[in-house]
Amino acid sequence: MSDRPDDASDATPAPGDAATRPDVVTPAVPGDPADDGGPGAVDLDATTDGTAGTPDVDAGGDVDADLDGTAVGDADVDRAAGDDEVGAGDAGEDEVGAGAAGDDEASAALADSIDDRDADATEPFARTTVAQVAATPDEIADAEPVGAEHALDEAAWLASSSAVAQEHDDEQLLARERVTPDPARTPESSWAAAHVGADGADPRRDADDSDAALASDDGVDEVGGPDVDPHAAAALLAAPGILDAGERGGPTTAGTPVVGPPSAATPVVGPPTAGTPVVGTPGPSGWVVLGRALKPRVTRAQVLAGVLCALLGFALAVQIRQTSDSTLTGMRQADLVRILDEATTRGDALERELADLADERDELLSGSNTRQAALDALRRNAETQGILTGRLPAEGPGVVATLDDVEPDGLIKPVTMVNMLEELRNAGAEAIQLNGQRITASSAFTGSAGSVELDGVTLTAPYVWDVIGDPDTIAPALQIPGGALAEVRRNGGTGSVERADLVEVTAIRVVPDPVHATPVPPESG
Amino acid sequence: MIAVIGLVVGVVVGLVLQPTVPVELQPYLPIAVVAALDALFGGLRAMLDGIFDDRVFLTSFLSNVVVAALIVFLGDQLGVGTQLSTAVVVVLGIRIFSNAASIRRHLFKA
């Protein structure tokens, strides 16, 4: 905050605006800052009547729109009744200040102002002017060749510079600020000149604060203008209208119009020059502000900001790495519970699917087994049928019976063969072969005694019967009295039965398919 | 400029050291980072507005971080952790956008 002793009430910046806000000069500019009773160059003669009389210092809400440090001039706005201050074409010239009024006068006024600034510091704009100005009209007339309307500007600027550079060398100050009148100078350049004057000229500030105020990136420096603004200008600038026009968000616009000294200084600082398009005069663009801010300067603020940014960068890098590496460990309990529920649900669904698939697989396997079993059953059935029907050769235990007849009465008749066959079947013969011919269900004996035909093939003695069956049943069955074998013997023939462990019935007889007979269709249901 | 250098240095140190965050702090670090970002943007806007104050920046930085972490922690204890965390993030995001818009207006006049 401003620590200027004489600025106690005036230059206190708004609370949030930082200690770095430069002291707002509250020069006793408008009237007779020098308090020397005579206007001189510093006094303001706004009515161009040669005197800095009452109407001249119109602090009625005029606004220094062009930020030239005074509320007069081309671009400035005269919002109050007194229109006097609004001059024409004096923008560039005004801030030059001393040159317009004469060097001697200016230097004298400066010296006086510097000496007397303390006394005048707290006085309001208007009061000062009124009190001081009316003293010596003559001096004023002589000293202001430029014109009364310019006096306010130059005086204001000059006073501000002088007030700021309280201990500064007068010569140095003059040398820097003296400029030949140049109407072509723009408000900005004059503003810049004023700024320059004030920039390096406040040794009263604390070392660090001054550095901070002047050179730090906290916005004050770049604003610039406030450093120089005279009390009057500050007061005028305080008018809320102009400030708000440029920057809606202007935080510091106190809204206190006109003369109020304390608030006068405050609003001037920030918004108008921070790139806000004040009426008619564009302030330094945001890029300029940014550029100035980026200049590395070792100040407390910068170092602090650097430390905090380092902390932020560190935390940022750590967090990003943390997120990329492991996501579960950093989550909160609620999130983990939700994830667990989802995982469990999915697990259950997968288990059900697994059970279904297993059942399907088993079904398919069993199905194939059933088919295989059916195939096996069919195969066995076919074999059995083949043996029984004579389609397949067979082997197994059985008997071999041999019949032989003798001439002329012992000739074996076909009926004897038929009896023999019936007795063998009755005894459980399963496969019968006679003289190399298979006997099937359709076999028939024909012919006559001595030339028996089996299925049309004539047989010759001896008749050898290969029979597969149970030997213990068949052999005794053939020997029964009254059987075929007994009859052959009675007729004089011979017959023998031999049991065998292995009888091979290799002959087969393919039975032709029935022509007339058809199978009975299976009954449904 | 020193701030930018500080930021870069911090990121590099974080990448090089690769520290592991304590498990207790892990849920709160992202919120703290966002809150610090909000403070940074606020400071940037203040600088462009010409009202930057290092003390304000420092206090806003620290208070943002602490308050954000505190709110999330409280929400976890109360059982509304996710909701409060979302709310904090939303609010910080709004502030960041507002500050960014102001900065944009300063820089681009648009």
Report yes or no on B14 lying in a domain: no
Q: Residue A160: its pLDDT value, please?
A: 57
Of the candidates A520, A477, A523, which has an alpha carbon nearest to the alpha carbon of residue A497? A477
Length reported for chain B: 110
Q: Residue A123: its pLDDT value, please?
A: 47
Asked if the Cβ–Cβ distance from B13 to A20 is below 8 Å, we say no
Number of domains in chain B: 1
Q: What is the distance between the alpha carbons of residues A163 and A169, in angstroms, rounded to a whole number?
A: 12
Q: What is the distance between the alpha carbons of residues B35 and A41, in angstroms, rounded to a whole number?
A: 55
Strand A463-468 with A431-434, pairing: antiparallel
Q: Return left, alpha or beta for A391; rule: phi > 0 is left, psi -120 to 50 is alpha, else beta.
A: alpha
A19: closest chain B residue by CA: B53
Report whether pLDDT(B93) > 80.
yes
Q: Residue A462, preceding bond cis, omega within 30 degrees?
A: yes
Q: Is A87 helix (H, G, I), strand (E, B) or coil?
A: coil
Q: Residue A191: its pLDDT value, please?
A: 53
A309 contacts on B by Cβ (under 8 Å): 3-4, 6-7, 10, 40
Q: What is the distance between the alpha carbons of residues A1 and A13, in angstroms, rounded to a whole number?
A: 7
pLDDT for A193-214, tens place per residue?
Answer: 444 444 444 444 444 444 444 4
Other Cβ atoms closer than 10 A to A320? 15
B51 contacts on A by Cβ (under 8 Å): 16-18, 218-219, 251-252, 269-270
Decide if A411 contacts A449 (C-beta within 8 A).
yes
- Token pair of A80, please? 């109050």
ipTM, two decimals, is 0.88
DSSP string, A348-406: HHHHHHHHHHHHHHHHHHHHHHHHHHHHHHHHHHHHHHHHHHTSS-EEEEEEEEEEE--
Between B7 and A409, name the one with better pLDDT. B7
Asked if the Cβ–Cβ distance from B46 to A217 is below 8 Å, we say no
Between A253 and A495, name the one with better pLDDT. A495
Range of the domain at B85: 23-108
Q: What is the mean pLDDT of residues A291-310?
A: 82
Report yes or no on B85 lying in a domain: yes
Burial A335-367 (b: 16+ CB within 10 A, else e): eeeeeeeeeeeeeeeeeeeeeeeeeeeeeeeee
Report yes or no on B56 lying in a domain: yes
What's A327's DSSP letter? S
Report yes or no on B35 lying in a domain: yes
**Which of B26, B49, B85 should be substituted to probe chain A, the one whose Cβ sees the most A Cβ atoms within 10 Å?**
B49
Asked if the Cβ–Cβ distance from B7 to A313 is below 8 Å, we say yes
Report yes or no on B17 lying in a domain: no
Report yes or no on B92 lying in a domain: yes
Against a cut of 0.90, is the pTM above it?
no
Between A49 and A143, name the one with better pLDDT. A49
Of the candidates A520, A379, A404, A386, which has an alpha carbon nearest to the alpha carbon of residue A459? A404
Asked if the Cβ–Cβ distance from B21 to A319 is below 8 Å, we say yes
Report yes or no on B15 lying in a domain: no
Q: Give A441's pLDDT tier (boundaries 50, 70, 90).
A: confident
Asked if the Cβ–Cβ distance from A308 to B61 is below 8 Å, we say yes
User: ∠ CA(A516), CA(A520), CA(A525), 5° rounding?
Assistant: 165
Of the candidates A117, A112, A190, A185, which has an alpha carbon nearest to the alpha carbon of residue A153? A190
Listed in sequence order, the residues at least 6 apart from A20 whose beta carbon sits closer than 8 Å to its beta carbon are A209, A212, A213, A216, A218, A219, A220, A301, B52, B53, B54
